[in-house]
Structure 1
Amino acid sequence: MLYRRYADKMYNICLTYADNEDDACDLLQEGFIRVFRNLHRFRFESALEWWIRKIMVNAAIETYRKKRREKEVFADYQWSSQPVVEEVLGKINAGEVIQLVNQLPSKAAMVLKLYAIEGYKHKEIAKLMGVTVGTTKSQLNRARFLLKEEISKLNG
């Protein structure tokens, strides 16, 4: 009932912040997940529609910040000293790089994301994952190697 009543209005708000209709649908879904998780916090101090709208806008802002941070990290990140990487990264966009990262083996992808995107140190990653610092370094190197291979395949 709540979704049916507000989905169209909230979708239009999401379209304002999204790059395309698919992203707007993702934002709408994420926003309503947050609405339902936090419905018990609604205090009836304002209109429900405005409360939902605020959640949608906050979800959009967080998504934008995350995408921007990912693009900046992958655009500026020093993958290795090999000159091939710079010319290869120039031929694909950051979104494609993110998709490739998500296809890596889970441990390698996790270490790469924590290190390159979130800015964690190897010691912190090791503690979070319950492994040694050496393991995080080897997983990061594995992720870099596999990612470079996949990027090279894309560029022929």
Structure 2
Amino acid sequence: MTEQAIIQGCMQNDPIAQRELYNRYSPKMLSVCYRFAHNKQDAEDMLQEGFIKIFTQIHSFQNRGAFEGWIRRIMVHTCINFLKKNKKFNESVELDYATHLSAREETIPSVLQGKQIIECIRQLPIGYRTVLNLYAIEGYSHKEIADMLDIEESTSRSQYTRAKTMLENILIKRKIVDSPKPEYNWLAVFSK
């Protein structure tokens, strides 16, 4: 089934087209949800909520830009709304812990698997993780993040900086980053 046929079928509430859409995009979108979620169950709940929105809002897709990008935006916004609704975004880090972290110029081996980085990101407090995901991975600006999360732009910037520092310490602790090698600056992975 072509993408256009799937879209047309979903607009007509065709269960076969809806199943095809879900089967085609759910693995990628689950990984998006997993980066924001507190646990696997939350990620699956986010995914389900996201697809409900996709099916109910499919008529608003106007063939401008990639269909997968449209789906991804809905999924990201669903994740943010899920965190807000369940008050998980309000979980905070003790400032004592955050101020004891020190930035280092460590590096990351080029063979580091994406799964290892995602697991390290998931260890971050939800606020830090959310801003890091939105800025470094999804490509939103700090202004857009501030608007989405109802925070100040400066808060987004500081959360991002603290997230990078905390992530660096997690990488060092897990011995993913262990020695400086100038050709592999891990900070470049998340710097924009």
Q: CA RMSD in A?
A: 3.3
C-alpha separation between the residues in 2 aligned to 1:99 and 1:146? 13
Higher-helix-fraction structure: 1
Residues 126 and 132 in structure 1, CA contact (< 8 A), matched pair in contact too? yes
Residue 13 of structure 2 aligns with which residue? Answer: 41
Q: Corresponding residue for 2:22?
A: 55
Q: CA deviation at 1:52?
A: 3.3
Q: Are the equivalent residues in 2 in contact too, given 1:115–1:122 (CA < 8 A)?
A: yes
Q: Structure 1: where are the runs of 5+ without partners?
A: 1-37, 68-80
2:140 aligns to what? 120
Report the TM-score when normalising by structure 1: 0.51
CA deviations on 1:116-139 (whole Å, 9 max, x unpaired) are: 111000111111111111101110
| TM-score of the superposed pair, with normalisation by structure 2 | 0.42
**Which structure has more RCO (C-alpha within 8 Å, separation ≥ 6)?**
2
Counterparts in 2 of 1:89 and 1:150: CA distance versus 1, 3 Å? farther
Please tell me the residue identity of whatever aligns with 1:92.
Answer: L
Residue 62 of structure 1: CA displacement? 5.3
Task: Tell me the distance in 2 between the aligned counterparts of 1:132 and 1:54.
Answer: 37
Q: Secondary structure at the match of 1:41?
A: coil
Report the CA distance shift for 1:142/1:54 in structure 2 as closer, same or farther (over 3 A). Answer: closer
Q: Which sections of structure 2, spanning at least 5 residues, go unmatched?
A: 1-9, 36-102, 179-192
Report the number of matched residues. Answer: 98
Cα shift readout 1:1-55 (whole Å, capped 9, x = no counterpart):
xxxxxxxxxxxxxxxxxxxxxxxxxxxxxxxxxxxxx8x9226xxxx5x863553
